[in-house]
Amino acid sequence: MVKKHPGIAGDIQAALELLSEDAFHPRLRTHKLKGNLEGSWACTVGYDLRIVFSFAKREESEAVLLEAIGTHEEVY
């Protein structure tokens, strides 16, 4: 995706940094997914770009596991 649209690399990086700091920051518009993706979450990177992820416990902390990055159509 980044090879086809190199301008989005900075948007993805900014969203990932924000996601690592606060997965529920209002700018990300984080929401639970339903159906086949139940148990996963998604956040917005840009107009039609999404990050799909899940939360996992590791020892005594919580981690964000990335599942997919792509357009709305690609990830859902």
- Digit-coded pLDDT (tens) for 41-54: 999 998 889 999 99
- Digit-coded pLDDT (tens) for 20-29: 999 999 999 9
* pTM of the predicted model as reported, rounded to 2 decimal places: 0.87
Order of strands, sheet of 31-32, starting from the edge strand that comes earlier in the sequence: 31-32, 41-46, 49-58, 61-71
User: Residue 1: which pLDDT band, with cuts at 50, 70 and 90?
Assistant: low
